[in-house]
Structure 1
Amino acid sequence: MKKVLAGLAAVATLFAPGLALAEKLVIACGSVGQEADVCKQGAEAWAKKTGNTVELMSVPQDAGQQLAQFQQLLAAGSADVDVIRIDVVWPGLMANNFVDLKQYFGEDVLKEHFQPIVKNNTVNGKLIAIPWFTDAGLLYYRKDLLEKYGQKPPTTWQELVQSAKAVLEGEKKAGDAKLVGFVFQGKAYEGLTCNALEWIDSFKGGTIVDSTGNVTVNNPKAAEAIDFFAGLVGNVVPKGVLNYQEEEARNAFQAGNAVFMRNWPYAWALVNGKDSPVAGKVGVMALPKGGADGKSTGTLGGWQLGVSKFSKNPKLAADLVKYLTGPEEQKRRALVASFNPTIMSLYKDPELLKANPFMGSLYDTFVNAVPRPTITGAKYNQVSTEFRNGVYATLTGKGKAADNLKKVEAKLQSLGKGGKW
């Protein structure tokens, strides 16, 4: 009888008010570079703290493929994932499938983050995601090779080409036939949209669709920019770049096979890792201008965390989001993997700035990055696809930029309302 009573007491304690059973959450993180590992570390720290468990969902590297995967799950009302990492351009596409996080996050917490990103994540008054890390395109370069051949870090794209040619010529004489001048994300996917927007904006050719909804992509400066980079393919830029995403570009640069690379901040920690052949030989700076009268620019990137409205435990999922996007975890992620925080105060943290010097010197690049045309709302993906396909056609020698951008303009206007967004 005593054993029976003891057992009943144990059951009563297990289900006593205020004591919750352990829950399992599923989170979809990224898979580029160290993203999955660093996300797993953070999620496991939260799980240990709260007594719950977290499982990572496998996702492809390509952002477009990720979006398709999530849209398929959400369209089916699937509860297979609780927390989803979403791109800075997805809020308008996915707002209806996410929980309004205003009920879990106070204004005091939201004010810690860059306000333009919080605003970007708010759709029709609904806060669908919390900023996690921000991004802008950067230029990585081999300090040792530039110094060896008396070259300075380039301030314009034209200077980059001249410097690359000088280094390549010298290294070819020294017997290095593998070295190339410049690598970037040239495959026809979202990464090319980001690169090409930077090219056009740096030449002062506009932003594809402006803030008032006018399609501006078909103009002489935009055509000049695209033609300029198309002219580099097969010369300073290897033809293989037309199949590169972020990791292919990083792998080539990190192996010591490229003088310059355009990539996101995440690459900094990896190219300077203990096993990297170029560790300590790399510099990073804002992207060059499109000529002396151009501008230095970088496409706004970054990722946020949202809670699926189909989650069986949205309150707990929101708690996981709060932990992962909090100052302690954002600082840890910056230190170990150079993910740019979205919490403003961290940009004054001495330890963080020592590990990632560019975060302080390039602060303005991050806060003033050029946004993609999210004014196009739910049709953004179509707009981006049409734009990058037109750019890719030019890069692969299928027509001049002026002709291809004219076709892009017509398609974007047909997607809009009466030729305008």
Structure 2
Amino acid sequence: MNTPQAAQGVQFLVDAKKEHMPKEAVTLDTEGGRRYFQSGKLVFQRQWPYQYALANQKDGSSKVAGRFAVAPLPGPNGPGVANLGGHNLAISAFAKNKATSLDFIRYLTGEQSQRANLLATSQAPTVAALYDDPEMVKKFPYLPVLKQAIANARPRPVAVKYGDVTAAIQGEMYDAVTGKKPVDQALTDLQAKLQPLTAQ
């Protein structure tokens, strides 16, 4: 982590926090960010697909309904890169009804179920054809953007102690963004924390 590229990325966050970010945004989690965005307190929000339907509610719960669009994550010189993850289904080796479990997974991942889930929740479908379906694109104009983001996404780094790795990154980035540590020190400390966690 202690590289010029990482330092440039973290410095970008530090500068963005100083110049553009509301104080509260530093500690917002996914749901907190969604609520702030929907109430009109954030101009930008990293959007998880489920947020699209909620932010477009016409019941008065969203001040931004019909007034926002989705774009790729920004990068230093154009679109950035998203990371993969999320829609995982598995069958335990100890399950008593493995065949029934497999049938249920096939049902959940089938086009009919994926279409129904998309319509009900705006969550990203796992069936590629739905990203190009004219009816779905009309209702969810973000689908072509999301399809491109998924096509260019990279897998998250593999780590046995994923929770500990996440906590280390969050802690050091928080310290850098809030000015508790200089960027270089935060990255040096992060590297020291990650070394034993990623050695397995």
1:308 aligned onto 2:88:
no
Deviation at 1:350, TM superposition (A): 1.6
Matched-pair contact (CA < 8 Å) for 2:72–2:79: no
2:72 aligns to what?
286
1:247 aligns to what?
31
Deviation at 1:270, TM superposition (A): 1.1
- Whole-angstrom distance in 2 between the partners of 1:350 and 1:359: 10
- Whole-angstrom distance in 2 between the partners of 1:336 and 1:416: 39
* Residue among 391, 411, 420 paired with 2:173: 391
Matched-pair contact (CA < 8 Å) for 2:118–2:124: yes
Residues 178-207 of structure 1 deviation map (CA, whole Å, 9 limit, x = unaligned):
xxxxxxxxxxxxxxxxxxxxxxxxxxxxxx
Deviation at 1:333, TM superposition (A): 1.2
Deviation at 1:319, TM superposition (A): 2.2
1:261 aligned onto 2:48:
no
1:339 aligns to what?
123
Deviation at 1:235, TM superposition (A): 4.5
SS of the equivalent of 1:263 reads coil
* Residue among 168, 189, 192 paired with 1:407: 189
Larger radius of gyration: 1
- Whole-angstrom distance in 2 between the partners of 1:257 and 1:385: 27
1:370 aligned onto 2:143:
no
- Whole-angstrom distance in 2 between the partners of 1:309 and 1:410: 37
Matched-pair contact (CA < 8 Å) for 1:224–1:401: no
Deviation at 1:395, TM superposition (A): 1.8
Taking the TM superposition and a 5 Å limit, the aligned residue runs for 1:77-92 are none
- Whole-angstrom distance in 1 between the partners of 2:79 and 2:57: 32
Paired residue type of 1:247 = E
Matched-pair contact (CA < 8 Å) for 1:386–1:411: yes
Deviation at 1:364, TM superposition (A): 1.8
Residues 377-418 of structure 1 deviation map (CA, whole Å, 9 limit, x = unaligned):
x2333322222221122122221121111121123223344x
* Residue among 219, 230, 242 paired with 2:3: 219
Residues 127-150 of structure 1 deviation map (CA, whole Å, 9 limit, x = unaligned):
xxxxxxxxxxxxxxxxxxxxxxxx
Deviation at 1:285, TM superposition (A): 0.5
Residues 238-286 of structure 1 deviation map (CA, whole Å, 9 limit, x = unaligned):
2222321111111111112222111212111111112232211111100
Paired residue type of 2:67 = K
- Whole-angstrom distance in 2 between the partners of 1:406 and 1:244: 25
1:84 aligns to what?
none
TM-score, reference length from structure 1:
0.44
Matched-pair contact (CA < 8 Å) for 2:70–2:145: no
Matched-pair contact (CA < 8 Å) for 1:297–1:369: yes
Matched-pair contact (CA < 8 Å) for 1:227–1:400: no
Residues 69-116 of structure 1 deviation map (CA, whole Å, 9 limit, x = unaligned):
xxxxxxxxxxxxxxxxxxxxxxxxxxxxxxxxxxxxxxxxxxxxxxxx
Matched-pair contact (CA < 8 Å) for 1:333–1:339: yes
SS of the equivalent of 2:88 reads strand
Q: Report runs of 4+ in structure 1 exceeding 4 Å deviation.
A: none
Deviation at 1:294, TM superposition (A): 5.7
- Whole-angstrom distance in 2 between the partners of 1:262 and 1:416: 27
TM-score, reference length from structure 2:
0.87
More strand by share: 1
Structure 1 unaligned residues grouped into runs of 5+:
1-216
Q: CA RMSD in A?
A: 2.1
- Whole-angstrom distance in 1 between the partners of 2:188 and 2:155: 22
Structure 2 unaligned residues grouped into runs of 5+:
none
- Whole-angstrom distance in 2 between the partners of 1:294 and 1:287: 9
Residues 335-369 of structure 1 deviation map (CA, whole Å, 9 limit, x = unaligned):
22211112222222221111112212442211211
Structure 1 pair 263/348, CA: closer, same or farther in 2 (3 Å)? Answer: closer
